[in-house]
């Protein structure tokens, strides 16, 4: 039994949820061991974010005419091609009940994955422009020979946008299949400078908020960076999507009020820890973060009983802790 969307204020479309669940394949435990919740999120994020390449935004092409194709950076595309044959077949089987997509063959597997990645620049461009996107526009960005796989291709692309960038795609017109792109989990900051079409950073912020939550609402600095290293994010290394992680976390997220950074009380020698900042407490909830992480592993949020009970108490109080 999953948490009702009405309870948490998060609406996850069925097709998106199924494809997002199929996205997570690794069972690699996260460090530290007690952060099982984030362990459902980080393996997939690691596979998608470990490319050492030119930022994806340099590959975005204008889609104003609706006929131009968006070509993803090949190195980033390669980093996203880690999913197995069974994952795509599972996603297809989930949709066969509605006859939306045939079974995906091994021959088509790579092409389908490449088409899913090809949608990312198009979706990012629409997000930057604050414009809705239609199914017709998305179809123009993928190989015509794979249009019959569209439900799985788009589901995979939506999962990437949500997992990596923290951008939630919602259908607003089921007749013309029109979608809008918004920041996930109730957050309002995407980390993009107003004059630069950079990468949205909300996905990384949600991971950090999740780590803090699972660590008892405070995470030591070394624990945080150790966990982030599991998805290829290091304090000393430029990241292909997030830029300078140290500056982003230690300056931007803290300055924007999403994180607090303080000395651990009584520590000698001094060590430091992260907490949710006032803006995080005002904009999102532990339940939204819990659901966001858990559904990528296809796990009932209630299976994390202690975390679920804490998040539920917060929801019932109607206040942010």
Q: What is the DSSP string of 249-291?
A: IIIIIHHTTSEEEEEPTT-SS--EEEEE-HHHHHH--HHHHHH
Would the pTM count as exceeding 0.85?
A: no
31-83 pLDDT per residue, tens: 334 446 666 666 555 655 543 333 343 443 333 333 344 444 443 343 344 33
Q: How far apart are CA 139 and CA 33, in angstroms?
A: 42
At 304 the pLDDT is 84
CA 263 to chain centroid: 30
At 211 the pLDDT is 93
Q: Which of helix, strand or coil describes residue 171?
A: strand
Q: Where do the domains of the chain lie, and which CATH numbers do they carry? A: 5-186 (1.10.10.1200)
Q: How far apart are CA 51 and CA 278, in angstroms?
A: 33
What does pLDDT average to over the chain? 73
Is the pLDDT score of 271 beyond 70?
yes
Q: Which two tokens stand for residue 307?
A: 């975390």
At 231 the pLDDT is 84
At 39 the pLDDT is 62
At 309 the pLDDT is 92
Q: How far apart are CA 97 and CA 261, in angstroms?
A: 49
Residues with Cβ within 8 Å of residue 157, at least 6 apart in sequence: 116, 117, 119, 120, 123
Residue 134, burial from CB neighbour count under 10 angstroms (0-12, 13-18, 19+)? middle
Instruction: Give 261's strand partners.
Output: 274
Q: How far apart are CA 130 and CA 135, in angstroms?
A: 17
- Classify 292 in phi/psi space as left (phi over 0), alpha (psi -120 to 50) or beta: alpha
Query: Quick one: pLDDT band at residue 110, thresholds 50, 70, 90?
Result: confident
Q: Count, in order, helices (H) and strands (E) of the chain.
A: 16, 6
């Amino acid at each position: 039994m999953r948490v009702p969307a009405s309870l948490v204020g998060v609406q996850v479309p069925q097709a998106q949820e199924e494809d997002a669940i199929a996205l997570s394949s690794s069972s690699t435990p996260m460090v530290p061991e007690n952060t099982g919740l984030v362990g459902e999120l980080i393996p997939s994020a690691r596979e998608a974010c470990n490319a050492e390449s030119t930022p994806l935004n340099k590959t975005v092409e204008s889609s104003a005419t609706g006929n131009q194709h968006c070509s993803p950076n090949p190195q980033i595309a390669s980093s996203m091609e880690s999913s197995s044959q069974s994952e795509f077949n599972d996603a297809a089987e989930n949709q066969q009940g509605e006859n939306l997509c045939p079974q995906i063959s091994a021959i088509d597997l790579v092409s389908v994955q490449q088409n899913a990645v090809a949608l990312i620049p198009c979706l990012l461009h629409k997000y930057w422009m604050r414009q809705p996107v239609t199914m017709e526009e998305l179809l123009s960005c993928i190989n015509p020979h794979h249009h019959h796989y569209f439900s799985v291709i788009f589901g995979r692309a939506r999962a990437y946008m949500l997992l990596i960038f923290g951008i939630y795609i919602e259908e607003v017109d089921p007749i013309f299949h029109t979608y809008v792109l918004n920041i996930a989990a109730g957050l309002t900051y995407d980390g993009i400078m107003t004059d630069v079409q950079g990468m949205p950073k909300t996905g990384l912020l949600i991971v950090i908020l999740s780590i803090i939550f699972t660590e008892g609402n405070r995470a030591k600095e070394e624990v945080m960076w150790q966990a982030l290293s599991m998805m290829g994010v290091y304090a000393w290394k430029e990241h292909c999507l997030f830029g300078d992680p140290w500056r982003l976390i230690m300056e931007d997220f803290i300055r924007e009020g999403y994180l607090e950074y303080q000395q651990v009380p009584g520590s000698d020698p001094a060590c430091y820890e992260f907490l949710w900042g006032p803006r995080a407490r005002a904009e999102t909830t532990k339940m939204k973060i819990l659901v966001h992480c858990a559904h990528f592993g296809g796990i009932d949020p209630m299976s994390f009983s202690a975390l679920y009970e804490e998040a539920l108490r917060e929801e019932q109080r109607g206040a942010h802790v």
